[in-house]
Amino acid sequence: MTMPCPFPPDRRPAPDLPYIGNLSVFHKYRRRGVASALVTHCEDVARSKGFSEIFLHVELGNLPASEMYSKLGYRAELVDPEYYSARGKTRRVYLRKVLVDDEEEDELESTEFSSASIFFDPNERVEKKNVPETT
């Protein structure tokens, strides 16, 4: 199943969807859990406001960030067909996470996912694979 882009054509997040944009941690503080803590806090705020999902983006090829987001439960939805970085080579990938309660989280933790699902042909829409359906 291919997910439609949750954002309007001008690429701004829809006002009714929680979206984490341009997360960055100063290089000397990386690999210390700062980014994970910030993302987890954003998820908690979104959940407390009644949202059932949250979105963000990562540049295609940013392996450290992609691996972190995968470990946190984010899944690639699609490549932004209009975005290129200032360097002109990097594409942006939209990621989505379904926010679940503790019981559902225990069930999801028993399911194995591959971080390779974030890396794909930037010219193709992403199909969700190995993602359990939630109700």
- Topology classification of domain 19-118: Aminopeptidase (3.40.630)
Q: Where are the domains of the chain?
A: 19-118
pLDDT tens, per residue, the chain with 135 residues = 444 555 555 555 566 789 998 899 999 999 999 999 999 999 999 999 999 999 999 988 889 999 999 999 999 988 877 766 666 667 888 999 999 765 655 555 555 544 444 444 444 444 444 444 544
Q: What is the pLDDT of residue 15?
A: 64
The pLDDT assigned to 101 comes to: 66
3-state secondary structure string across the chain: CECCCCCCCCCCCCCCCCEECCCCCCHHHCCCCHHHHHHHHHHHHHHHCCCCEEEEEEECCCHHHHHHHHHCCCEEEEECCCCCCCCCCCCEEEEEEECCCHHHHHHHHCCCCCHHHHCCCCCCCCECCCCCCCC
